[in-house]
Amino acid sequence: MDRDITDIIEKQCLQNNIVYKMMHSGAGHDAQIIAPYIPTAMVFFPSHKGISHSPFEYTNPKDLAEGVNVLIHTLYELAY
């Protein structure tokens, strides 16, 4: 993933007092295909009990809002 973008994401988390963890995803994502050609990063939202890609997946609305806020501010900083 692009270090400049991940630095911006990290900065947004710190500025907004959002608990975060830098991590690598073991799953396949479209991002890994485009990353060699386009600066790329990903923002993951925490799921209850770590369950994802399942009908039992649940993410707290507060966590969703924080993640979207980080994404919005990251995109704004990249654009301007």
| Token pair of 76 as six digits | 């704004």
pLDDT tens sequence across 66-76: 999 999 999 99
Residue that wins the pLDDT comparison between 6 and 52: 6
The percentage of residues in the chain with a pLDDT greater than 90, rounded to a whole number, is 71
- Residue type for 79, please? A
Q: How many CB atoms lie within 10 A of CB 70?
A: 22
- Residue 23: give its domain's CATH number: 1.10.150.900
pLDDT tens sequence across 36-51: 999 999 998 899 998 9
For the chain, the domain total comes to 1
pLDDT value at 29 more than 90? no
- Domain span at residue 67? 3-79
Given the structure tokens 């209850």, which residue do they identify?
Answer: 48
Q: How many CB atoms lie within 10 A of CB 66?
A: 21
